[in-house]
Structure 1
């Protein structure tokens, strides 16, 4: 589907909330280039414990205000949810505007695809909670000349989803995924520490 409105329809209230803003002229409010693939990966990684809301406003202050309102609405519906946001092209600009309007702790992570501003996000988030993707040759986020590079990010969507999930509570992950995270080196420390952490996380999940 190219549309998702779990927040505005009040049909979510899951452990993870994902708010995405599409690129210019994409269909629906999810678009086709980034949104559906990231959502599919997030559903898989979170065992479908996810609320999805997309935003079809244009870039600018009004776009940031709309996403900000969606974040506030998600918090009011479920104060315990973990909110992560993402934007593609003009949507990345909206994420910038949103971050500047929020307080620390209201969103837990952000991913930007093809960011025209080529700038750091506002201090709402620590830099370790922000990830950017810009394809080689993309004239929008780099000084490239390959227009087609702006349209192909399918190889990055799973990495983006994994980053967003790893940035929030391990409790939304399945035991298998926690095991994977601890033993693939995403949790730092020696082997003994990883084993102990894995056991603690499994007990927490149960």
Structure 2
């Protein structure tokens, strides 16, 4: 999509994401059983059999948000009790959409993947993201070079770049629900774009298979 075509939709994109940000505080997330909207396990020095580096969607709170990330982690932790999750700290602003994925955030995600490889050499590494965060997955993978071969799998939700491979990653899974305008490349937020918590179990099953569990 050309930038000229994208600009009229930016206000809609931001306003449409007001709902998830409204329910993504740590307290409210716990009330809904979603877990915290911030995860810093890797930065806290932890390693596990699986390390997930996750980027949230535009305007979501914390560094993993609430729509797709926490439900996914909860489902995966049932299969991987020592799961380590690290959110990508980036602005997740509408301006990042103009860049087709926040540039600084993309670089930060690549940096975190490299950190996971160095810090946790025996861990299976999974790159994951939702909406603009899915863009970061694609962008970061292109910055990894040979390190991408160390990434076991990628999982993206509501992925604007769904038709593109995640460079260098063998096991890839994209969740794009019927009626999700973002997955069609329109950047129009429809109700379907906010339903990826329902794919948490399927995403966890995919990762478990990819890592050999």
TM category (shorter chain) comes to: 0.7 to 0.9
Aligned to 1:188: none
Please report how far the alpha carbon of residue 143 of structure 1 lies from its aligned counterpart in structure 2 after TM superposition.
Answer: 6.5
Aligned to 2:167: 123
Q: What does 1:145-160 align with in structure 2 at a 5 Å threshold? A: 147-160=190-203
1:49 aligns with 2:82: yes
CA distance in 2: counterparts of 1:2 and 1:37, whole angstroms: 11
Q: Which has the larger radius of gyration?
A: 1
Aligned to 1:106: 150
Please report how far the alpha carbon of residue 2 of structure 1 lies from its aligned counterpart in structure 2 after TM superposition.
Answer: 0.9
Aligned to 1:73: 115
Aligned to 1:190: none
What is the count of residue pairs matched by the alignment? 166
Please report how far the alpha carbon of residue 108 of structure 1 lies from its aligned counterpart in structure 2 after TM superposition.
Answer: 0.6
1:133 aligns with 2:175: yes
1:9 aligns with 2:44: yes
Identify unmatched segments of 5+ residues in structure 1. 171-206
Question: Aligned to 1:95, which of 107, 128, 137?
Answer: 137
Please report how far the alpha carbon of residue 106 of structure 1 lies from its aligned counterpart in structure 2 after TM superposition.
Answer: 1.9
When the two chains are superposed, the root-mean-square deviation of aligned CA atoms in Å is 1.7
CA distance in 2: counterparts of 1:92 and 1:122, whole angstroms: 10
1:24 aligns with 2:58: yes
Q: What does 1:163-182 align with in structure 2 at a 5 Å threshold? A: 163-170=206-213
Aligned to 1:84: 126
Please report how far the alpha carbon of residue 74 of structure 1 lies from its aligned counterpart in structure 2 after TM superposition.
Answer: 1.2
1:35 aligns with 2:77: no
1:60 aligns with 2:102: yes
Identify unmatched segments of 5+ residues in structure 2. 1-35, 93-100
CA distance in 1: counterparts of 2:39 and 2:65, whole angstroms: 10
CA distance in 2: counterparts of 1:64 and 1:75, whole angstroms: 17
Please report how far the alpha carbon of residue 56 of structure 1 lies from its aligned counterpart in structure 2 after TM superposition.
Answer: 3.3
CA contact (8 A) 1:2 1:32 kept: yes
1:108-164 deviation line (CA, Å, top 9, x unaligned): 1001111112332243112xx111111111111126877111111122111011101
Q: TM-score, normalised by structure 1?
A: 0.75
1:57-87 deviation line (CA, Å, top 9, x unaligned): 2333322210111111112212111101111
